[in-house]
Structure 1
Amino acid sequence: MKIGILGSGHIGRTLARKLAATGHEAKVANSRGPDTVDADALSTGARAVTKEEAVSGVEVVILSIPFIGIPALAPLLAGLPVETVVIDTSNYITARDDKIAEIEDGMADSVWVTKQLGRPIAKAWNSIYSVTLAEKGKPAGHTDRIAAPVAADRRRDRDVTMALVEDTGFDAYDAGPIAESWRQQTGSPSYCTEVTLAELPKALASADLARSRRRSDLASKVYSERFEAGHNPGGDFIIQLSRLLYAV
């Protein structure tokens, strides 16, 4: 498929590399220009382009930027054909993003995103830690393959996104509509806990929005005591912390 990725951070560059490696025609852009895209993102055939080029002539657009920056993408995405699949990988994190009243009052992160962009989206890869995404993908059928929930309202969005998740080395699971995507947000039992496909349905079902918000805030406090903002700690620390705080 022809895929444009907006954002070349930890998630964006890993998706560019993995998707290009499986035969997709991937383009990746960031806010600073093509010359600043990390060479690792391009190592398997993805191309660095401008953000305008990234969304031109593609079947899928993946959003991999800080959550608070998503509304600014609305003009860029306004001209996309209605059938283009837009996938949101971001998470609202109160310790990092400006507080958003609607989300604070209970609106699911990705419902808010659909309102900002004025179009349907799918939600995926947001519950997978960046180190996990980069290092722990496994072939289909592997007993220890980690699962990733996918939420979407349109069948095409769901089917395409689930196929791409599978291509990156994870078991895709239909997690229902975007209105239910809060079950895979930060602080939930499925978030960065590396659950398998057999474990994921229970993790999603046991999610509690208020509790997830409290636990997410607690995790941010623990993180800020240990690391500078923007630092990406090793997978073991994040996974152990997530399991301790979210999965109990």
Structure 2
Amino acid sequence: MSYTIGIIGSGHIGRGLATHLAKTNYPVLITNSRGPASLTNLLSSISGSLTAADLSQTIARADVLFIAVPWAQIPDVARELQNSSGKIIVDASNNIVSVSPFRLADTAGKSTGEYVADLFPTHRVVKAFNTLAAATLAEPSQTNVGSTVIFMSGDHVDAKKEVADITKAMGFEPIDLGTFKQGGHLQDVGGALSGFELIKVNR
């Protein structure tokens, strides 16, 4: 299926996503809080189908939105999207609110995917791309035996299928962990799959 893809956030995770998405056949927009002019150097360093846009343009034009902003900014993004519906939201965030000292935000026992999904009730949220370190996401291991795995979870089967197709186009291998309750906590910081790069071997 043909999509326009948007990336909200141009930090390390946003740049890593942009690097791989720009190599696909999808039109890709990227936005940040500083405006399109601040993204000139990023665009010049990444060839392919990547265009800078402001937030409102990105929201209006994108069918699939990758959220790659700090945890504290996600409610602000949700407010910007409250008057739209039906988009696929790919939540690539982790609930880290402080690195030194290290501190995680309280999600009231919910997985971060489930927590974020509650902020976007009129959209379909898929948790993905949050288990790899930013440097690994940007430059995954190069091997001819298989592809780096991207884990995902979510409560919308159709949305996960579309995100899986995009993930494959990016050169990764998607693995569906099930619903947020079934697999979401495995992806979270401290979960069994957090911080590991796994390769699915070709058969």
TM range (shorter): 0.7 to 0.9
Higher Rg of the two aligned structures = 1
Q: How does 1:30-41 map to 2 (within 5 A)?
A: 30-37=32-39, 39-41=41-43
Q: Which amino acid is the alignment partner of residue 193 of structure 1?
A: F
Find the aligned partners of 2:7 and 2:126 in 1 and give their Cα distance.
14
- Compute the TM-score of the two structures, normalised by the length of structure 1: 0.71
Q: Tell me the TM-score normalised to structure 2 length.
A: 0.85
Paired position in structure 2 for 1:48 = 52
Structure 1 Cα separation of the partners of residues 78 and 96 of structure 2? 21
User: What is aligned with 2:169?
Assistant: 167
Q: Which residue of 2 aligns with 1:151?
A: 153
Structure-2 separation of matches of 1:7 and 1:38: 14
Equivalent residue for 1:60? 64
Instruction: State the partner residue of 2:193.
Output: 190
Question: If each structure's helix is expressed as a fraction of its own residues, which one has the higher value?
Answer: 1
| Contact map agreement 1:147 1:194 (CA 8 A) in 2 | yes
Higher strand proportion (structure 1 or 2): 2
SS at match of 1:56: helix
Q: 1:195 to 1:99 in 2, by over 3 A?
A: closer
Structure 2 Cα separation of the partners of residues 32 and 98 of structure 1:
26
CA distance in 2, matches of 1:88, 1:173: 15
Give the fraction of aligned pairs with identical amino acids, expressed as a percent: 25
2:18 pairs with one of 8, 16, 19:
16
Please report how far the alpha carbon of residue 98 of structure 1 lies from its aligned counterpart in structure 2 after TM superposition. 7.6
Q: CA deviation at 1:88?
A: 0.4
Equivalent residue, structure 1, for 2:90:
87
Q: What residue ranges of structure 2 are gaps of 5+ in the alignment?
A: none
- 1:70 is aligned to 2:74: yes
CA distance 1:81–1:138, change in 2 (3 Å): farther
Aligned length: 193
* Alignment root-mean-square deviation, CA: 2.2
Please report how far the alpha carbon of residue 17 of structure 1 lies from its aligned counterpart in structure 2 after TM superposition.
2.7
**Higher relative contact order, structure no. (Cα contacts within 8 Å, ≥ 6 residues apart):** 2
Deviation readout 1:100-133 (Å, 9 max, x if unpaired): 44x1x42111111111222430011001111111
Aligned letter for 1:57?
A: R
Matched to 1:189, the amino acid is A
1:38: how far off?
5.4
Q: Is this contact kept in 2: 1:149–1:174, CA < 8 A? A: yes
